[in-house]
Amino acid sequence: MAFVTLLLHLVVSCSIVLSRCKGDPPETLVPSVQQWLLYVALWPVLAVLVSEGTKRRDRRYHMHLQKTLRVLFNTRLGHGSGSKTISAE
């Protein structure tokens, strides 16, 4: 799914850049078409890499929290579930 989104974004971005650069653009403050294409091609890849890295980090952190909660739960369960002696009065 991410690849399809990336490809669709790349096509739309390239079409926008190419439609804007048809005429002769002024030479000041306008990057070349190659610079635009480089930017359009690289920033979505960077965005996907950051997104995937964040998901990996979140997954690891979630697993860490689940392990910690499991230890706490087992400790509390073991602490209170021992055989209780009922004193006869």
Domain parsing of the chain, residue ranges:
1-21+31-54
Lookup result for tokens 């697993």? 63
Q: Can you give the pTM of this predicted structure?
A: 0.47
For residue 40, the model assigns a pLDDT of: 81
Instruction: Report how far Cα 71 is from the mean position of its chain's Cα atoms.
Output: 29
Question: pLDDT tens digits, residue range 43-76?
Answer: 888 889 999 999 999 999 999 999 999 888 888 7
Distance CA 73, CA 16 (A): 56
